[in-house]
Amino acid sequence: MEKVKQIFSKLQNVVNAIIAIILIAIMIIIFVQTFTRYVIFYSIPWSEEASRYLFVAMILLGINIGISQDMLVCIDIIDNFLSDKAKKAFEIGRQVIALIISAIFFYSTFGMLRIGGYQLSPALRIPMSIMYGIICLGFGLAMVSGIIKLVDVIKTKPEQIEKGGKA
């Protein structure tokens, strides 16, 4: 399991770099669009669509990082009233629910991928299967991250589970 975690950690470093590049691209596109619209009085027709797609890609690729680094939203007041064993059971339940939701979304992207091969985006004219593939990849990585997190929580002793389910 440690080997899988190391490989996945290296993959997450690559994803982090891709997210950084996407964020820089979004900033450049929005800056250029703002400049051209208010200084040159010309609007770039594809900038809104490109920034929207890049934003979605950034969020979906970042979900697995949020899961693995315990950066997801949780309600501390619930965890503060639970015993150590109840906290562990509650955290296992959270991870299982997150894994099921990720799996449902991952599975549902396969139908979108088939349809996306026949569609082009309105402004950029790229196949929508590329965007749907990013959605599939994002939820696939979220599933892997959720499985790794679930195994960690199961292996952790109840008294080592901190507030917010951090193992």
Whether 66 shows a pLDDT value over 80: the answer reads yes
Give residues with Cβ within 8 angstroms of 33, minimum separation 6: 43, 44, 47, 48, 51
Helix/strand/coil for 26: helix
pLDDT digits (tens, 9 = 90+) for 12-33: 999 999 999 999 999 999 999 9
- Tell the burial category of 89 from Cβ atoms under 10 Å away from its Cβ (0-12, 13-18, 19+): middle
Cross-strand pairs, 127: 120
Question: Containing domain of residue 118, as a range?
Answer: 2-165
Q: Please report the pLDDT score of residue 72 as a whole number.
A: 77
The upper half-sphere exposure of residue 24, i.e. CA atoms within 13 Å in the direction of its Cβ, equals 6
For 98-125, what is the mean pLDDT?
A: 92
How many residues are there in the chain?
Answer: 167
Task: Among 10-19, 84-93, 141-150, name the one with the lowest average pLDDT.
Answer: 84-93
Tokens of 167: 């193992």
Number of domains in the chain: 1
DSSP string, 59-105: HHHHHHHHHHTT-S---HHHHHTS-HHHHHHHHHHHHHHHHHHHHHH
